[in-house]
Structure 1
Amino acid sequence: MVTIKDIAKRINVSPSTVSRVLNHDETLSASPETKQKIFDTAKELNYRTVKSRRLQSQPKKQEILKHETVNIGMVLLQTKEEEASDPYWLSIREGIEKECAVRGISSLKLIRLQQMVKAREELAELDGLLVVGRIDYLILQTIREYNRNIVLINQDTYEDQYDSIIFDYEKAASQAMDHLAAQGYERIGYIGGTERISVEQEQSLKKIYTPDARKTIYESKMKERGLYDPSLLFVKEYSIQSGYDLMKEAIEQGNVPDAFFIASDSMAIGAMRALHEAGVQVPDDVAIVSFNDIEMAQFTSPPLTTVKIPTEEMGRLGVRIMLDRLDGRDMPIKIMVPTGLVVRESCGALRQQERQ
């Protein structure tokens, strides 16, 4: 039986690339020549989709699913633009794709938010759904009517009905704020984005704003120290551009804080660009601690001190516990992944250590 790995090996590309091309993933940046080569090779090797193989073999419902025949849906609650502007979500997706390739899962269906409303019946044809992002409880209940095998990634469970993979947002944000406080910074600013959750309104899916734990922790920590100043708080959408715009706003406002907690590495990269243009040195003039630890964080100038969220591993774990559920587990489980502060140069701590 020909698998996606066979096609990938034949034309020297990754199995995840083959899977995304065969599933007509529009966000993949592969060239038209590469995509055509994948389709031609699949035809040449007589590759059959999971669905066609099932129709041929007609397995009994009682049989345990083999990984090669598992058909998983990856429900992404972010738009293409949101995913492209925030590597956090892309890293979770890549973790899912990599684990599927390792496990020999050749069918991974990409489902965007609005597609879920238009074709909910198609959800019943899938063995399970990996939901990436935050979604309203009522929508989850509706989805569950079509498919009961659901793993939530980056969202806590409701009434213990669903498997979930999460991290402690409050603990992670506290790690950032406590580190800045330990370095002696008092005037600490905040740059962050708006957290949104997907809800159903008027027979369509929309996103509404919801409290962001990072901003909440920032406010509570500063109030505890008697240092809270609302004029040092800057919020817009989560993107590199927003980080740049908000830092420019802080600079133009005057009296720039001694340090910033920035709620994502992407925003921090944009903010550091604005500081560089204004001749403000990091960390000599302004210290920065951010959030996520995307790959680019270690290559910025200076490298970012940031709270590491194991996003790729969250995606991989999602696939693993889905397979465990499909293999017969009924009891819902919750996995809390660890977070940790990665100290680099942007916070100034390393220079303080050198001076001691």
Structure 2
Amino acid sequence: MATIREVATLAAVSIATVSHYLNKTKPVTEETGRRVQAAINQLNYQRDDMAAWLKTAGAPVVFIVYPHADTSFFEDVAEEIEACLVPHGLNALRVRKSTIDRMLEGGALRSFLTRSAGIIVLGHSNEWPNNAVEATSILPSVMLNWDDLNGFIEQGLHEHLDQGAATAMAYLAERGHRNIGLMTGPLLERGRGLLNGALASAGSLGLNIAPQWIVQSSYDLRDSSNQARKMLESTERPTALFTFGTQFAFGALQACYDLGIRVPDDISIISYIECRQADFSAPPLTTVAPSIAQLASHVVDRMVGLISGNAVNIQTSLDIQIVERSSVNPLKTSHQ
């Protein structure tokens, strides 16, 4: 197969001139155009349309970057965003954080990225692109770091952590629970916000949260299970547990299984944040969470505005929703 270099040699012009003629990126003289076309015909040259597209065309594609996680939460958010993009004529291409890091380093992958319509990054402190700032400088971008609440506010999203924590605590109190344990996850902005909300709610509701019942875990599922086990093996354990993320709840469920503690008969568990795996845990997990549908709609409206070159000042206050499943029981009289 003939190459663009061979066409340039036969037509006695530069490779760049042949490229401009083929891609209509710069005008060439009529005589030069005739020589290039004659060389193309003589050599039966077939252009690489994909390579040409990567160099010259934009595409209605939005990259959605999401991290590795032990639950489906970020995939669930990405899926909802993708569905919201479709009515705007935009397609989603989901990639991992490691892939976007390589794309930003340079080469053909970077060319592919820069020809896209925009980039949406979802993640947390442990899984965040190395060059996120650079991405914002080359493309319309929406960046959501779940450990950076100020970043959420800058993007026009308002998540009411105190309300979410209060809703979970009230749900347990209404079912007779007074001794409550907390699994916080990393005590960054989000964890501290939920902890402050839970403690304030416990004070107003007259609930007991003993210091040994507050355990901190990393985002790792195994660590969550180990930390929950330490609390559950104590002489006196709480009758209910509020976890600040579903990965922490799944770790607690595993610890309960290992210790022969029945959920919800012996201990009730409710979690902040919803994910589709909550339907399939044993037992299915009750959650209180900000609306993923609202979040996705906001992200897409913001992205569409940025792509259009408009000033974007969209503000969304995320509703708190309870999904009742089977992990919380009313407290039996013998436990009170």
Q: TM-score range by the shorter chain?
A: 0.5 to 0.7
Does residue 175 of the first structure (1) align with residue 167 of the second (2)? yes
CA contact under 8 A between 2:182 and 2:241: conserved in structure 1?
A: yes
Q: What is the aligned length?
A: 274
Q: CA deviation at 1:286?
A: 1.2
CA contact under 8 A between 2:62 and 2:116: conserved in structure 1?
A: yes
2:221 and 2:324 map into 1 onto residues whose CA distance is 21
2:94 and 2:276 map into 1 onto residues whose CA distance is 26
**Partner residue, 2:82:** 97
Q: CA deviation at 1:258?
A: 1.2
Q: CA deviation at 1:326?
A: 2.0
User: Runs (4+) of structure 1 moved beyond 6 Å?
Assistant: none
CA contact under 8 A between 2:291 and 2:320: conserved in structure 1?
A: yes
| TM-aligned CA distance change 1:143 to 1:157, over 3 Å | farther
Q: 2:311 pairs with 319, 330, 348, which one?
A: 330
2:143 partner amino acid? L
Does residue 240 of the first structure (1) align with residue 221 of the second (2)? yes
2:92 and 2:287 map into 1 onto residues whose CA distance is 35
2:236 and 2:161 map into 1 onto residues whose CA distance is 30
Q: Which has the higher strand share?
A: 1
**Partner residue, 2:141:** 150
**Partner residue, 2:176:** 184
Q: CA deviation at 1:156?
A: 5.0
Does residue 256 of the first structure (1) align with residue 237 of the second (2)? yes
**Structure 1: runs of 5+ lacking an equivalent:** 1-45, 60-68, 197-208
Q: 1:220 pairs with 180, 188, 200, which one?
A: 200
Q: CA deviation at 1:100?
A: 4.0
Q: CA deviation at 1:341?
A: 1.7
**Structure 2: runs of 5+ lacking an equivalent:** 1-46
Q: Deviations along 1:266-295, whole A, 9 cap, x unmatched?
A: 322231232233232222221211122222
CA contact under 8 A between 2:169 and 2:201: conserved in structure 1?
A: yes
Q: CA deviation at 1:144?
A: 4.0
Q: Percent identity?
A: 19
| TM-aligned CA distance change 1:231 to 1:109, over 3 Å | closer
Does residue 287 of the first structure (1) align with residue 268 of the second (2)? yes
CA contact under 8 A between 2:187 and 2:216: conserved in structure 1?
A: no
Match runs of 1:1-356 below 5 Å: 52=53, 55=56, 69-76=59-66, 78=67, 80=68, 83=69, 85-101=70-86, 103-106=88-91, 108=93, 110=95, 112=97, 115-116=100-101, 119=104, 122=110, 125-133=115-123, 143-147=135-139, 149-153=140-144, 154=146, 156=149, 163-194=155-186, 211-224=191-204, 225=206, 227-311=208-292, 314-349=295-330
**Partner residue, 1:200:** none
1:50 and 1:105 map into 2 onto residues whose CA distance is 21
Q: CA deviation at 1:222?
A: 3.3
Q: Deviations along 1:96-126, whole A, 9 cap, x unmatched?
A: 3344456443463736279559837857654
Bigger Cα displacement from structure 2, 269-278 vs 254-263: 269-278
Paired residue secondary structure (1:296): helix
Paired residue secondary structure (1:152): strand
CA contact under 8 A between 2:286 and 2:322: conserved in structure 1?
A: yes
2:227 partner amino acid? L
Paired residue secondary structure (2:322): strand
CA contact under 8 A between 2:286 and 2:326: conserved in structure 1?
A: yes
2:212 and 2:316 map into 1 onto residues whose CA distance is 38
Higher relative contact order (Cα pairs below 8 Å, separated by 6+ residues): 1
| TM-aligned CA distance change 1:49 to 1:112, over 3 Å | farther
**Partner residue, 1:38:** none
2:76 partner amino acid? S
Q: CA deviation at 1:189?
A: 0.6
Q: CA deviation at 1:159?
A: 11
Q: Deviations along 1:167-201, whole A, 9 cap, x unmatched?
A: 322211221112112223221111231155xxxxx
